[in-house]
Amino acid sequence: MELDDIKAIVELMAKHNLSEFKVESDSMHLCLKRESADKGIIQQIAVPAGVTMAAPVAPQVQPATAAAPAGAAAPGNDENKVTIDAPIVGTFYRSASPDTEAFAKVGDKVDPDSVICIIEAMKVMNEIKAEKSGIIKEILVENAQSVEYGCPLFVIE
Amino acid sequence: MFEKILIANRGEIALRVIRACKDLGVKSVLVYSEADAQSLPVLLADEAVCIGPAPSSESYLNYKQILSAAEICDVDAIHPGYGFLSENADFARICNSCNIEFIGPTPEQIISMGDKAPAKKKMIEAGVPVTPGSDGLVADVKEAQKIAEKLGYPVIVKATAGGGGKGMRIAHNNASLVKGYHAAQAESQNAFGNGDLYVEKYIERPRHIEFQILADKHGNVIHLGERDCSIQRRHQKLLEETQSPVLTPKLRAAMGAAAVKAAKGVGYSSVGTVEFILCEDGKFYFMEMNTRIQVEHPITEELTGVDLVKAQIRSAAGEKLTIRQKDVVFRGHAIECRINAEDPYNNFSPRPGVVELFIPPGGIGVRVDSHVYSGYKIPPNYDSMIAKLIVHGNTREEAIARCRRALDEFHISGPGIKTTIPILKYILGREDFATGKYDTSYIEKIFDKFLATSE
């Protein structure tokens, strides 16, 4: 499968408003998913299953849940969602203190400067800004959970 | 013993430390950048925390993120590996103030050995021979000239904050000294933010011999023999061996004792390496002390049977050294080849990419320390070393033959992937290497002949 072939398929999908295309053969597996117009179309192109030297298949290694510290969130399984991710490592808190209101609840409208949560790192309470505009659809982590860099915190639309 | 250690490094050394932790029954936490999410050490560590994007400054050098990860994972010690923060006194100090043990030297030792001119002074005080040169920093080029004339040309102008070959210029006469002085100063100011210089006699055709030190927090210090690291290209080591083909037992004992004196002189309590230059006439001089575990530590492990990383961790945990100097045995000969993802036929330019097929050699006396596996993508953001091949033999001849055979077996391929295996094979096949007659100018001398060989 050449890049030109893939481009042609992508155009066809857009033209006919198709959302998913899969093709499998002995040497290749291709899956294209399409979602809202302003996101990238190509989501997943699998590594070719065979190597020219008749050698064992290159394993597709997944870090899996072993790669997260105990208590860190499992990332949302649908890659199509837009998320706000942790920019630092630390402990996630939904509000400034146990008795104050949460910064962001489901349904809240946020803009780039809105403070949406606190991540405590080394005893410093860092206010985390949304950096994006939209409406909070889902909260992916629990209060007082440990988060690593890049951990998805909120789903935003 | 520690319950949990955080490893603030990546690649083969992260894997090495994880293995030592597992052998000790200690839990391991690895911090990693997004570029290393698929790396082998991330999969093998008990816990792994992503601390930032690919650039080192935002991940492996970002101590806020590292300490945050240490906090959420509740670790009691941090192992810094080599490079990155391993000789960063600020980081060591912050770890200590957070009650996290920094597995390595104290911040004061890092500072005193990190700056070369004051390190030399300390060695003189400890009675360790140093290269004849200026008494500390030179104030200006006039002073440098006076000292050069007293020492006799050739001399070398060196930056006190220098490293990796930067900030040094050799001068054979007054004119080149003036030129070299200003060039070294500018280079050092740019690279390290410090343009201070000192002058030394330049030793021609030196050999680089370093001694492995092992110490504990109870004042015990021993050495585990030398490593001959003279095969270098632009001050980067390609191949190391032990025992050095030119050291007599008497010279070994003298240099070893000097290394121990140097370490004791700074109250050293971890693993470290004392580097010497060895002249053709058998005189040796202290060059510098590295206060970390080094890349080439495995050859000392194969020679002596001592697991240096475990010993380092035990020492940091406060345990007393169980080996005394007279217990140390040197058995056979060991060679290490550093394999980089670089094209030796094209000025060693880096060749990162996907390693489709990685088949390491095996058999008796063959060890491969590597984080690479078939299908692994070498990220372009870090150094290009992808594997270390360590070979042991009962004699130097057996080790060389085994090494050549292992390099022949070693298969590393992928789109655009090139390695330095060809030049390593070439060196090991040469007569002058077989006789052990080489010095730090070796690569320069044979390089054109190497280029003439077909791939």
* pLDDT tens per residue across span B196-239: 999 999 988 899 999 999 999 999 999 999 999 999 998 889 99
Distance CA B368, CA B74 (A): 32
- Give the helix ranges, DSSP H, for chain A: 3-15
- B411 at interface of A, judged by CB pairs closer than 8 A: no
- B29 at interface of A, judged by CB pairs closer than 8 A: yes
B119 assigned to some structural domain: no
Single-letter amino acid, residue B292 = R
B113 assigned to some structural domain: no
10 Å CB burial of residue B335 (0-12, 13-18, 19+) is: buried
Do residues B312 and B223 share a domain?
Answer: yes
**Residue B292 falls in the annotated catalytic set:** yes
Do residues B30 and B165 share a domain?
Answer: no
B312 assigned to some structural domain: yes
Q: Determine, for residues B43 and A67 on separate chains, whether the beta-carbon distance falls below 8 Å.
A: yes
Question: Out of B292, B351, B367, B402, which one is annotated catalytic?
Answer: B292
Q: What is the pLDDT of residue B455?
A: 53
- B65 at interface of A, judged by CB pairs closer than 8 A: yes
The boundaries of the domain holding residue B57 are 4-103
63-82 in A: which are within 8 Å (CB) of B?
63, 66-70, 72
Do residues B185 and B213 share a domain?
Answer: no
Looking up tokens 């150094």, which residue turns up? B383
Q: What is the pLDDT of residue A58?
A: 36
Q: How many domains does chain B have?
A: 3
Q: Determine, for residues B374 and A58 on separate chains, whether the beta-carbon distance falls below 8 Å.
A: yes
Do residues B356 and B335 share a domain?
Answer: yes
Domains annotated for chain A, with CATH where assigned, are 3-45 (no CATH), 74-156 (2.40.50.100)
B409/chain A closest Cα distance in angstroms: 15
Facing residue for A148 by CB, picked from B49, B357, B375: B49
Distance CA B161, CA B195 (A): 8
Which ipTM value was assigned to this complex? 0.74
305-364 in B: which are within 8 Å (CB) of A?
356-357
> How many Cβ atoms are within 10 Å of B225's Cβ, its own excluded?
22
Give the length of chain B: 455
- Write the CB contacts of B143 (distance below 8 Å, at least 6 apart in sequence): B134
Q: What percent of chain B has pLDDT over 70?
A: 99
Q: In B53-126, which ranges are E strands?
A: 77-79, 101-102
Q: What is the CATH number of the domain that holds B91?
A: 3.40.50.20
Q: What is the pLDDT of residue A28?
A: 79
B108 assigned to some structural domain: no
Interface test with B, best of A45, A52, A149, A151 (most B CBs within 10 A): A149
Determine which helix (DSSP H) or strand (DSSP E) holds B157, and give its type and residue range: strand B155-159
Do residues B281 and B346 share a domain?
Answer: yes
Q: What is the pLDDT of residue A68?
A: 38
Distance CA B300, CA B303 (A): 5
B120 assigned to some structural domain: no
* pLDDT tens per residue across span B85-140: 999 999 999 999 999 999 999 999 999 888 888 888 899 999 999 999 998 899 99
* pLDDT tens per residue across span A45-91: 333 433 333 333 334 333 333 333 333 334 445 567 899 999 999 99
Q: pLDDT band for position B164 (50/70/90)? A: low
B112 assigned to some structural domain: no
Distance CA B162, CA A89 (A): 33
Q: What is the pLDDT of residue B231?
A: 96
Q: Determine, for residues A59 and B375 on separate chains, whether the beta-carbon distance falls below 8 Å.
A: yes
